[in-house]
Amino acid sequence: MQHGSLPPAQNSGHAEKPAAEKAPQSLYGGVTSRRVTVRDLASAKQRGERWPMLTAYDAPTAAVFDEAGIPVLLVGDSAGNCHLGYENTVPVTMDEMVMMSAAVVRGTKRALIVADLPFGSYQESPAQALHNAVRLMKEAGVGAVKLEGGERSAAATELLVQAGVPVMAHLGLTPQSVHAFGGYPVQGRGDEAAHQLLADAKTAQSAGAFAVVLEAVPAELAVQVTASLHIPTVGIGAGVGCDAQVLVWTDMAGMTGGRVPKFVKQYADLRATLGDAARAFSADVIGGSFPAAEHTFH
């Protein structure tokens, strides 16, 4: 696979700046003046370009990722356990998803914003899925929605796509089924499970999904699914053979307390950094060295 830009940075017509003054380098050329679209992602698959996706749940964090050139941000229902203090994704409501998604849209200029349809917001009927997807598009302004399941969500996906809602499917370890799974086990192991997952991926594609998340599946199976689809696969715990990779931002930046899954790479230790800042502020206040003269009005 080759690496490249998606979409290419727009040509401003100005003379080339020295390297140090250029926008931060990213896989996709930094911030451009238009949002990434699902068509850009389809072209990237054709060109063999990999792309990163991160979750975001609020405006300032989303702005940091947007400025860093992350082309797709997911307002995941992982907000349940990573942002809202629930035990898992199950309690997350549509109102919470709309509020967080609107904040992420407001905080960004360039990324495609995908919002999760939370548990109970689409399983009842395709009409219920459409009603809630429309809320995310009209009230929050997202560019696409994500829902869990292949064959079981095909009718909902079809109706959404017909109505003009881009749909990302989510297969493998689908966290909304945590109670049915009895935890978070790796999926798609064994011939029958692998066959079912491949069938689910093809069904999601036929129903019109523009991408498929593969969570916690064997790398070999993810390679097979990726080769079988013309839409991009987005891996999380699915090996390096997917077209794109997603991580939950609090995991990858070291904000999550306790254990993180084996598939997470921690790129920063923000929990420690923030704790140090809070302790330093506390010590300054207790010791009387904050506020100092430069922080004071007269």
Catalytic residues: 215
Residue of 55, 101, 153, 203 that binds ligand KIV (CB under 6 A): 55
CB 159 within 8 A of CB 133: no
In angstroms, the CA 64 to CA 54 distance is 11
Terminal-residue alpha carbon distance, the chain? 61
Token pair belonging to 197: 């997952």
Site membership for ligand KIV, residue 168 (CB under 6 A): no
Q: Does 96 bind ligand KIV (CB under 6 A)?
A: no
**Selected range binding ligand KIV among 19-27, 43-51, 71-79, 189-197, rule: CB under 6 A:** 71-79
Q: Least distance (Å) from ligand KIV to the CB of residue 171?
A: 11
Helix axes 94-106, 126-135, angle to 10 degrees: 40
Residue 97: count of CB within 10 angstroms of its CB: 27
Q: Return the residue of 56, 70, 74, 197 that touches ligand KIV, per CB under 6 A.
A: 74
Query: Considering the complex, what minimum distance in angstroms separates the CB of residue 63 from ligand KIV?
Result: 19
With CB under 6 A as the contact rule, the residue among 103, 136, 207, 213 that binds ligand KIV is 213
Distance between CA atoms of residues 228 and 240, nearest Å: 16
Site string for ligand KIV, 120-149 (x = CB under 6 A): ------------------------------
**How far from chain centre, in Å, is Cα 38?**
14
Q: Which stretch binds ligand KIV (CB under 6 A): 61-69, 76-84, 119-127, 189-197?
A: 76-84
How many residues touch ligand KIV (CB under 6 A)?
A: 12
Q: 159 or 234: whose CB is closer to ligand KIV? A: 234
CA angle 63, 101, 45 (to 5 degrees): 75
| Binding test (CB under 6 A) with ligand KIV, winner from 76, 166, 218, 232 | 76
Region label for 11, one of left (φ > 0), alpha (ψ between -120 and 50) or beta (otherwise): beta
248 touching ligand KIV, by CB under 6 A: yes
Sign of the CA dihedral with 227 first, then 231, 232, and 237 last? negative
Residue 114 touches ligand KIV, criterion: CB under 6 A: no
170 binds ligand KIV (CB under 6 A): yes
Position 246 contacts ligand KIV (CB under 6 A): yes
Residue appearing with tokens 């370890």: 173
Does position 110 interact with ligand KIV (CB under 6 A)? The reply is no
**116 in a known ligand binding site:** yes
Strand partners, 235: 214, 245
Q: In the numeric block, which tokens belong to residue 140?
A: 């929050």
Tell me if 269 is assigned to a ligand binding site: no
Contacting range for ligand KIV; rule: CB under 6 A; set: 7-15, 75-83, 264-272, 276-284: 75-83
Give the residue at shortest CB distance from ligand KIV: 76
Is position 29 an interface residue for ligand KIV (rule: CB under 6 A)?
no
| Long-range contacts, 190-198 (Cβ 8 Å, 24+) | 194/218, 194/221, 194/224, 197/150, 197/171, 197/172, 197/221, 197/225, 198/224, 198/225, 198/228
Residue ranges binding ligand KIV (CB under 6 A): 55, 74, 76-78, 116, 170, 213, 215, 236, 246, 248
Binding residues, as ranges, are: 77-78, 116, 146, 148
Binding residues for Mg(2+), as ranges, are: 77, 116, 148
